[in-house]
Amino acid sequence: MYLDLVKIFVPTALAFFLGLFFTPGATHFFYKFKMWKKYSRSTEVTAPDFQKIHNEQDELRTPRVGGIIIWVSALLTTLLFYLISIFSPTPVTEKLNFLSRNQTLIPFFTLLLGSLIGLFDDLIQIYSTNKFARDDSQARKWKVVLIALFSLLIGSWFFYKLGMVALHIPFSGEIYLGALIIPFFMLVALATFSGGVIDGIDGLSGGVLASIFAAYAAIAFANNQIDLAAFSGVITGAILAFLWFNIPPARFYMGETGIMGLTVTLATLAFLTDSVFILPIVALPLAATSLSVILQALSKRFRSGKRLFRLAPLHHHFEALGWPSYKVVMRYWVFSTVFSIIGIILAIISR
């Protein structure tokens, strides 16, 4: 038990301090090469409420690739402990290595590939001048296609390589899906990715995602999936390092390179811990944010343009009501922490 806790908390702390260490240099690089959007959302969004809360100057002068801090810190930490166990094999170093085929290999590559795909999307919006640089509706459709294809590969690995054919339903038992596990994973991955629109206020996404990944570290630990708990903890530590510099005024935004990798990895963790049906509770802020966008679109379509919320996503609705951005962020953090704890408890007692 003692070594298991060390295996989780030591890499988590290292990921945090690694992020703090190389962020100043990365920030200099981001600003030197002007890695921010060239087109503001205000060119498409004309709602008066949005114009009141939107700071176009910040959006067009703040780098949007800050997610690099997260996934580079997490991946470097993972590789460091792996290489130490290879080149200096001792019982302790081998115990601390948490890169394992049956638990962390898939989320490791999911985080890497998802983040690289997101980075490519960010670079298009930074340096390109075509229609995709404006992140219009057509560009967003292509993102959905990419996530669907990416998640198809992961879902296929679950089914064909890991033999995953059933999912646990809390307080009930298992539901057999067979090959349907593949499209179901695709659906969950797309749903978690859609919650990525929470990256809209300084410090918001970082605080919320840190709570969620910390919760999955606890859930994996309760399942005796120590390697997976350590990897989840490492991501948490890396997010906290990002958050250190993202608290208002933010030095950079997370961008798609952070959101894509993290949200698809989150879906992967939910499947590996067999807690998919707990995910909407643990990640309720993401679910509520995504649902607010869907309900707003449906309301406009079927109620003659009438809006259900002042603005969507939901955090902008609260800003439009007059809440200061810092109050929105802090309340989301509290909300996320509470439901992460509830999710942990349900995951443990529902077995």
- Over residues 29-51, the pLDDT tens digits come to 999 999 988 766 544 455 666 66
Q: Would you call the peptide bond into 63 cis, given omega within 30 degrees of 0 as the criterion?
A: no
Q: Which residues pair with 96 in a beta bridge?
A: none
Q: What is the DSSP letter of 52?
A: H
Are 50 and 42 spatial neighbours (Cβ–Cβ below 8 Å)? Answer: yes
Q: Would you call the peptide bond into 249 cis, given omega within 30 degrees of 0 as the criterion?
A: yes
Q: What token pair was written down for 216?
A: 């999955």
pLDDT in tens, 112-165: 999 999 999 999 888 887 766 666 667 778 888 999 999 999 999 999 999 999
Q: How far is CA 141 from the centre of its chain?
A: 19
pTM of the model: 0.95
Within 8 A by CB and 6+ apart from 342, the residues are 281
Task: Name the strand (E) or helix (H) holding 166.
Answer: strand 166-169
Calculate the average pLDDT of the chain: 91
Nearest to 74 by CA among 203, 188, 185, 209: 209
